[in-house]
Amino acid sequence: MQHAHAVTLDNSQAVSATVKLYIWAAIILIVAESLGAVSIPLGPGKVVLLPMVWALLLGAGVGIASKRLPGTIGIDKRAQLRAASILQPALLIFIAKLGLVVGGSLPVVFASGWALVFQEFGHFVGTVILGLPVALLLGIKREAVGATFSVGREPSLAIIGERYGMDSPEGRGVLAEYLTGTLFGALFIAIVAGFVTSLGIFHPASLAMGSGIGSGSMMAAAAGAIAAQQTPEMAKQVMTLAAASNLITTTLGTYFTLFISLPLAVWGYRVLEPLIGRTTKASATTDGPDANDVAVEISELGWAGKVSAWLAAAALALIANYVGYKTLSADAFAGMGVMIFAVFVGELLCTLIRRKVPAVCTVSIVAMFLTSPLCPWAAQIARMTNSINMLAVITPMLTFAGLSIAKDIPAFRRLGWRIVLVSFLANFGTFIGAVMIAEFFH
């Protein structure tokens, strides 16, 4: 057997790989935003491929095709690992945008009833209770933690990226969950929500609260399927409650997943894996090395690397905002400056407290303060940051995720249909768990 040999990137190689990645990311992002949203009819619903999905697929395509491209152009395994290391700090730009959006909505959240608050436990515990045991029975190992601790939206990528790294088994699990949810989540949850509604077991308000799982498209699909079976008055209430629930999930979701569902998934894996874990094709932790395998050791990005990643993500988001949403105003530049400021202060706070609280939390707290009623400049900051579309901020992150995927293709192929099934169960678990708790408090 031939053994993989370790190679450490020196500074010049790292800079070269990073510049190449930024160039590829810009090209992919412009193409993805130019393609726009494409709807594909599928049965009773449709699958909508947004620019962020194109960016993910195109990035993966470039990585896969790189074996046939000249070395000066292709994205080799070194560069793919570099993309994964860039993705982690770059995701904080999205977390800042999310916090800025949420800050102004805090009064609405505080005014919500107890049912709307407590159903949140269902969203994040349901994924683990339903998804994790099945994942273990199917032979999935540590990827099961990343795939079942949440429904795998963007904040979940940031949490797993910071805690384990995106090139870890947990990182592959959350990315597989993200891919499945992005491509098929809205269609799946619409069918499930419509079917559960037709059973007449739960109150429409409880079903509406269960729809707010932290994804705008999935919330809209589920709430639409529920509202379609109600009177006009109740349909309007369903959409309102679903939006409020989604807002709370977006607001509190990062903290629920970080402090409740992720520890629960880790504990559940440790306890259940020896009891019900099986060995299947999905169980191998690494694929056997071949003659061309090279294990690349890349140290965690320092401050210079992190600032570079923030600036690159910010620049790409501005390009996406212009190409996809025809907006490139002075407010947009100022708003992006505010987001970078929030990330910098959040990262600095995280460092000062010796990372006892993750950067995802500190950045989101700083950003939420800037648009909350406590900040005297909240209105001006909200105006500037609102000129940058949320989806334009997500697309660059998924571009880097796509560029890092090729190295994990053997692992995804090994997980196969099993991870798709687990993803669907996690999505169903988050919906039905929240519905049941909301029904109890209703």
pLDDT of 297 reads 42
Reading the block at residue 151, the tokens are 């429904």
Report if pTM > 0.75.
no
Say if 111 falls within a structural domain.
no
Say if 331 falls within a structural domain.
no
Say if 185 falls within a structural domain.
yes
Query: Which residue has better confidence, 431 or 239?
Result: 431
pLDDT of 75 reads 83
Say if 272 falls within a structural domain.
yes
Query: Which residue has better confidence, 253 or 125?
Result: 125
Q: Are 134 and 429 in contact (CB under 8 A)?
A: no
Average pLDDT for 363-389: 91
Say if 296 falls within a structural domain.
yes
Distance CA 259, CA 254 (A): 9
Instruction: Please state, in angstroms and as integers, the Cα–Cα distance from residue 291 to each residue in 117, 221, 295, 397, following that order.
Output: 54, 47, 12, 32
Count of structural domains, the chain: 1
pLDDT of 292 reads 39
CA proximity to 339, closest of 331, 349, 351, 328: 331
**β 38-42/5-8 pair status:** unpaired
The neighbouring-strand residues paired with 5 are 294
Average pLDDT for 221-232: 85
Average pLDDT for 305-327: 92
Q: Are 193 and 207 in contact (CB under 8 A)?
A: yes
What are 30-76's pLDDT values in tens digits? Answer: 999 999 887 777 655 555 677 887 888 899 899 888 888 777 788 88
Residue 384 is which amino acid? Answer: M
Full domain range(s) for residue 77: 5-93+121-318+391-441
Reading the block at residue 306, the tokens are 């992190």
**pLDDT value at 6 more than 70:** no
Distance CA 210, CA 3 (A): 50
Say if 37 falls within a structural domain.
yes
Say if 355 falls within a structural domain.
no
Average pLDDT for 263-267: 93
100-114, 185-199, 313-327 — most confident range: 313-327
Say if 305 falls within a structural domain.
yes
pLDDT of 7 reads 43
